[in-house]
Chain A
């Protein structure tokens, strides 16, 4: 409610009913509309608004959010409903970046703090960490002014033997000028992961510079006589591209390459796959059979598996065979980003830490020009450009955390939070389609960085089971990709359908315990120093149990619970609430009972708590 003080209120509608989408639950409340929020639902979260036909109880308004929340309002007067509807339509389609929330969001930080936030991630330092530049790889200034490739970052790493004419020549032979550059260096075997876009080979065209470029990459690795070229598209798609003068590398023209298709589908297939998935999982009283059939026919998990399979292939080629790999798809900013980032995550434990994961996203997604603005529909753009590519990447990471519960420093809450803010447009990191555009928008000066915020919240995103020792013992992860290892990510796609989640969360319980232990450690230290001062022999004399012991323990417990309770809760926190869902044919009897028992405010507050910061 703090927002009312300084945010202009567009609209206020009383007596609105908010329906739960899977039960007959409903609550009453007032709906507020401001320039950026609908009762604190950021407009940017809203994927679509639908006005259904009038019913006896009022006019329904269904809002689908990009974080997979579906809100179903019933507004008493149709006029009000229409006002809300048309205002929303106007508000949630900004035409220029400056209208986005990031430009008005003010977390009460000064310029220095903001600047520090942006400096948190330093990609130059990251390449240094990998051991680049080195005798085989160097930083090139060829793209300093975005002249060779405007969707690439300024700083690019290439083999030392790749001269400027080779680079420029190669870039002319690649879609959107995205020539092969280094994205990850596996120091142990001196093997490189490089990325680019498809070659403009058509049916027979070739380019000597491009061939030299690949040769240079291959030669930079003495461990292997050949270079893998992974085309992440299905072969059919690549073939079809040849007709448009694009295509894939002809093994005859490039010396010592091993060419491989891995068959990840394109953005359009992924978009409609997610749509189907959400349709199925959004059905009320869904049967198990329809759920499983829907899960299968949506193809979603098949696509997720394809991405993980590709990353596993990449990882094996690099870590086992010691070969360098060049990864591309069509433009090299969707599937290529997925596979390179996931592969690096499997190879390098650093990327499985909180900071490392931010670096990874900054490198393979943000700096290499994944089109966040288009894919996430930040401005009123082409709906055919929208696609859940980044969401898929986060899901792949989640699938891995399920197989390796001790390998990641972060929990799924971290992934969900990142997903949330990729779509909220509250921070500048993901605005725009590439670095050049971000510089033009002066995002570093005018908006705040998500990474700084997430870093300050680090405690809430920790995986309590994380073991650095495990990572030391298993630097490279070798996941199984048998189908049954892939599960439906309920915490993502039903994030807000609280009734579906476990009522008690192991994650939360253990986090709280760890926090308690941390506090107890410092208390213990303080107490021990006091007792040393007083010359008490260290805890030897056992005293009989007194009633106060339990009270004390309880105090500690409650304190700690409170401190984490204010943070996000994904899986319902307690078993104390009864679930008011109908298991069968007793409906009718329950409805009256429900309305009477459920206080309106509680549920509304829950719904919005997680959106605001």
Chain B
């Protein structure tokens, strides 16, 4: 540990500069002292009532510096899409600060990340690392059906490095069969249970693509396994998240898709969800469009269109609706996969659950969904969220896959504003923490990596912090009324909006909207208060009536 701290010290050439001016959009300018620590950029001023700036280095996506005489300007662009400016007098100080920020924000050694150094200043009521254990989730499933079992076949992560140690599989298939199936699926991701629809017993499974290759390899065990999830005489749907031609091309690289001849009880549907590298480009273009301050409507609309972001939202949401439709309306089981089964597949399976399962629309239920369908399911968060929209480097594995999922959830939330226990702030919070956080939850790329890093022992879980009354109050939706029904969102382009809370968050003053939200909370609370008073008075009167017969009016 000491060694690491030494290392930080080496990177920080100038730890402190006075007289630095901070510019932030829609906020007053602050002048103060800039301090660099191993993990933070801090600007504090001695004036009262001015907000200090605490910025995690890991939140910094890119920086730019320029000089006007000896006055240096550093533009800091953050992963949460905020852009701030620092004015530093003195060329040397400015250059030192800039190069330190650059170095500190691009450290890629996981064990140097802030979560390993962060000590909570709050009381942990419930340790988030234990809140969503697979064995507990499985208990709920057991109460509904006995057709599935928890397998430990992957307990040392050897069969599938991106799967958790425990997975739910059809009861009648032993671990030996699973091992055979794993060899036939991309990344060893054999079909596992993603969701059980209590209403009709239909299931949603997910997997990696089958490794059919060009010569149409098949795997009897794989065929049997997925057939076993069908009810007698019923058909199922395989939702391939790639366009048919993309899936065809995958054959040349050893991948492929399920041939109808080999899976006669399954109907395959191809939906074109973009692959992760394309999505990154889309994010960059969208953010660029949102930061364009030109007053031309045509330019804005054409840039918005060219970014394809809204198209991606629509495609993902449509595919999720389709999966949900197959399960709920068709009474059919569904298998979802793309190529690796760690990106578009998870978008679809998790969104379908939001639509189908009211439980996922609660705060805890949504956390559990993120835990199950994203963290445990092996979405490579560390790779995908290494850089955001302002990065100058060529993207390798970066992609806003999770952000798109959150965007889709927000779209559904907009359409059913009373059916979610959480509000938009919760979704924004998850976006922020996926990219930069003091908590260990989103570190690493898989359950295996997290186990190796000993995250539960060495870091604090985001859920530990969120699930405290003071945080929950800020994140809960005052309009929430449990809605036990399936909710079908509209996917018409006219119904899908740009998520301003993320993409225009720093480009507009949210004061008016925030005040209106406060007013709404006030109206709801006032109503509750009144109802309580009325009821208590009524009860008192009723009691008096029974006590004193003279009060009975003739």
Minimal Cβ-Cβ distance residue in B for A556: B531
Interface residues of B in 364-421 (CB under 8 A from A): 414-419
The contact sample of 15 A-B pairs, CB cut-off 8 A, is A288-B313, A290-B493, A405-B513, A406-B515, A467-B519, A482-B293, A484-B290, A510-B520, A514-B527, A531-B537, A534-B541, A552-B538, A556-B534, A575-B418, A579-B489
Could you tell me the distance in whole angstroms from the C-beta of B126 to the nearest C-beta in chain A? 27
Minimal Cβ-Cβ distance residue in A for B548: A534
Bound-state Cα–Cα, A299 to B516, Å: 31
Question: Which residues in B have their C-beta under 8 angstroms from that of A287?
Answer: 311, 314, 493
Q: Chain B residues in contact with chain A, CB under 8 A?
A: 269, 271, 290, 293-302, 304-305, 308, 310-311, 313-314, 318-319, 321-322, 325-326, 329-330, 414-419, 479, 483, 485-498, 500, 504, 507-508, 512-513, 515-516, 519-520, 523-524, 526-527, 530-531, 533-541, 543-544, 551
Choice from A470, A582, A590 contacting B515 with Cβ under 8 Å? A470
Q: A292-B493, A500-B494, A509-B479 are in contact. Are A586 and B535 (CB under 8 A)?
A: no
Q: Known pairs A503-B415, A578-B485; list 8 more (Cβ under 8 Å).
A: A292-B301, A292-B305, A296-B301, A302-B297, A484-B504, A488-B494, A539-B540, A578-B486
Question: Which residues in B have their C-beta under 8 angstroms from that of A178?
Answer: none
Query: Closest 4 interchain pairs by CB?
Result: A579-B488, A483-B300, A291-B493, A292-B305
Stretch of A2-10, A132-140, A349-357, A522-530 at the chain-chain interface: A522-530
User: B487–A503 contact, CB under 8 A?
Assistant: yes
User: B417–A586 contact, CB under 8 A?
Assistant: no
Q: A504-B416, A584-B318 are in contact. Are A536 and B527 (CB under 8 A)?
A: no
Choice from B485, B497, B531 contacting A553 with Cβ under 8 Å? B531
User: A501–B486 contact, CB under 8 A?
Assistant: no
User: A499–B492 contact, CB under 8 A?
Assistant: yes
User: A583–B526 contact, CB under 8 A?
Assistant: no
Question: Which residues in A have their C-beta under 8 angstroms from that of B500?
Answer: 484
Could you tell me the distance in whole angstroms from the C-beta of A311 to the nearest C-beta in chain B? 15
Could you tell me the distance in whole angstroms from the C-beta of A399 to the nearest C-beta in chain B? 12
The reply to whether the CB of A281 lies closer than 8 angstroms to some CB of chain B is: yes
User: B322–A293 contact, CB under 8 A?
Assistant: no
The reply to whether the CB of A286 lies closer than 8 angstroms to some CB of chain B is: yes
User: B493–A286 contact, CB under 8 A?
Assistant: yes
The reply to whether the CB of A546 lies closer than 8 angstroms to some CB of chain B is: yes
Question: Which residues in B have their C-beta under 8 angstroms from that of A527?
Answer: 534, 537-538, 541
Minimal Cβ-Cβ distance residue in B for A489: B494
Bound-state Cα–Cα, A484 to B488, Å: 28
Could you tell me the distance in whole angstroms from the C-beta of A395 to the nearest C-beta in chain B? 14
Bound-state Cα–Cα, A580 to B329, Å: 10
User: B296–A483 contact, CB under 8 A?
Assistant: yes
Could you tell me the distance in whole angstroms from the C-beta of B40 to the nearest C-beta in chain A? 32
User: A292–B304 contact, CB under 8 A?
Assistant: yes
Bound-state Cα–Cα, A22 to B495, Å: 13
Question: Which residues in B have their C-beta under 8 angstroms from that of A281?
Answer: 494
Bound-state Cα–Cα, A406 to B310, Å: 29
User: B512–A406 contact, CB under 8 A?
Assistant: yes
Question: Which residues in A have their C-beta under 8 angstroms from that of B269?
Answer: 584-585
Interface residues of A in 432-478 (CB under 8 A from B): 464-465, 467, 470
Bound-state Cα–Cα, A305 to B299, Å: 13
Could you tell me the distance in whole angstroms from the C-beta of B547 to the nearest C-beta in chain A? 11
Minimal Cβ-Cβ distance residue in A for B308: A289
Could you tell me the distance in whole angstroms from the C-beta of A502 to the nearest C-beta in chain B? 4
Could you tell me the distance in whole angstroms from the C-beta of B440 to the nearest C-beta in chain A? 36
Question: Which residues in A have their C-beta under 8 angstroms from that of B534?
Answer: 520, 523-524, 527, 552, 556
User: B318–A549 contact, CB under 8 A?
Assistant: no
User: B531–A502 contact, CB under 8 A?
Assistant: no
Question: Which residues in B have their C-beta under 8 angstroms from that of A539?
Answer: 533, 536-537, 540
Question: Which residues in A have their C-beta under 8 angstroms from that of B295?
Answer: 309, 481-483
Question: Which residues in B have their C-beta under 8 angstroms from that of A292?
Answer: 301-302, 304-305, 310, 493
Interface residues of A in 278-298 (CB under 8 A from B): 281, 286-293, 295-296
Question: Which residues in B have their C-beta under 8 angstroms from that of A553?
Answer: 531, 535
Minimal Cβ-Cβ distance residue in B for A483: B300
User: A500–B523 contact, CB under 8 A?
Assistant: no
User: B531–A575 contact, CB under 8 A?
Assistant: no
Question: Which residues in B have their C-beta under 8 angstroms from that of A301?
Answer: 297, 301
Bound-state Cα–Cα, A287 to B263, Å: 32
Could you tell me the distance in whole angstroms from the C-beta of A552 to the nearest C-beta in chain B? 6
Instruction: Convert A477-503 into 0s and 1s, putting 1 for each residue whose CB lies closer than 8 angstroms to a CB of B.
Output: 000111111111010001000011111
Q: A405-B512, A513-B527 are in contact. Are A576 and B416 (CB under 8 A)?
A: no
Q: A292-B301, A405-B513, A465-B516 are in contact. Are A514 and B536 (CB under 8 A)?
A: no
User: B415–A520 contact, CB under 8 A?
Assistant: no
Question: Which residues in B have their C-beta under 8 angstroms from that of A582?
Answer: 325
Choice from A293, A517, A530 contacting B305 with Cβ under 8 Å? A293
The reply to whether the CB of A506 lies closer than 8 angstroms to some CB of chain B is: yes
User: B551–A534 contact, CB under 8 A?
Assistant: yes
User: B322–A288 contact, CB under 8 A?
Assistant: no
Choice from B294, B414, B523 contacting A517 with Cβ under 8 Å? B523
Could you tell me the distance in whole angstroms from the C-beta of B101 to the nearest C-beta in chain A? 30
User: B535–A552 contact, CB under 8 A?
Assistant: yes
Residue in A514, A586, A590 with the greatest tally of chain B CB atoms within 10 Å: A586
Q: A287-B311, A289-B311, A405-B516 are in contact. Are A586 and B322 (CB under 8 A)?
A: yes
Bound-state Cα–Cα, A133 to B495, Å: 49
User: B417–A506 contact, CB under 8 A?
Assistant: yes
Question: Which residues in B have their C-beta under 8 angstroms from that of A552?
Answer: 534-535, 538
Could you tell me the distance in whole angstroms from the C-beta of B85 to the nearest C-beta in chain A? 19
Question: Which residues in B have their C-beta under 8 angstroms from that of A585?
Answer: 269, 322
Bound-state Cα–Cα, A513 to B271, Å: 42
User: A579–B537 contact, CB under 8 A?
Assistant: no
The reply to whether the CB of A112 lies closer than 8 angstroms to some CB of chain B is: no
Bound-state Cα–Cα, A22 to B493, Å: 12
User: B417–A502 contact, CB under 8 A?
Assistant: yes
Instruction: Convert A589-611 into 0s and 1s, putting 1 for each residue whose CB lies closer than 8 angstroms to a CB of B.
Output: 11001000000000000000000
Residue in A286, A494, A502, A589 with the greatest tally of chain B CB atoms within 10 Å: A502
Minimal Cβ-Cβ distance residue in B for A301: B297
Q: A483-B297, A485-B508 are in contact. Are A531 and B494 (CB under 8 A)?
A: no
User: B527–A520 contact, CB under 8 A?
Assistant: yes
Question: Which residues in B have their C-beta under 8 angstroms from that of A111?
Answer: none
User: B330–A464 contact, CB under 8 A?
Assistant: no
Bound-state Cα–Cα, A46 to B173, Å: 64
Bound-state Cα–Cα, A556 to B544, Å: 23
User: A506–B520 contact, CB under 8 A?
Assistant: yes
The reply to whether the CB of A581 lies closer than 8 angstroms to some CB of chain B is: yes
User: B301–A295 contact, CB under 8 A?
Assistant: yes
Question: Which residues in A have their C-beta under 8 angstroms from that of B318?
Answer: 583-584
Question: Which residues in B have their C-beta under 8 angstroms from that of A48?
Answer: none
The reply to whether the CB of A226 lies closer than 8 angstroms to some CB of chain B is: no
Choice from B299, B418, B479 contacting A483 with Cβ under 8 Å? B299
The reply to whether the CB of A542 lies closer than 8 angstroms to some CB of chain B is: yes
Could you tell me the distance in whole angstroms from the C-beta of B518 to the nearest C-beta in chain A? 10
Bound-state Cα–Cα, A520 to B534, Å: 7
User: B310–A543 contact, CB under 8 A?
Assistant: no
The reply to whether the CB of A403 lies closer than 8 angstroms to some CB of chain B is: yes
Minimal Cβ-Cβ distance residue in B for A542: B536
User: A516–B527 contact, CB under 8 A?
Assistant: yes
Question: Which residues in A have their C-beta under 8 angstroms from that of B490?
Answer: 499-501, 579, 581
Question: Which residues in A have their C-beta under 8 angstroms from that of B321?
Answer: 583-584
The reply to whether the CB of A521 lies closer than 8 angstroms to some CB of chain B is: yes
User: A524–B494 contact, CB under 8 A?
Assistant: no
Q: A292-B301, A292-B310 are in contact. Are A504 and B519 (CB under 8 A)?
A: no
Interface residues of A in 560-579 (CB under 8 A from B): 575-576, 578-579
Bound-state Cα–Cα, A104 to B512, Å: 45
Bound-state Cα–Cα, A295 to B491, Å: 17
Q: A486-B297, A504-B416, A534-B551 are in contact. Are A286 and B536 (CB under 8 A)?
A: no
User: B520–A465 contact, CB under 8 A?
Assistant: yes
Minimal Cβ-Cβ distance residue in B for A486: B297
Q: A464-B523, A552-B538 are in contact. Are A501 and B495 (CB under 8 A)?
A: yes
User: B299–A575 contact, CB under 8 A?
Assistant: no
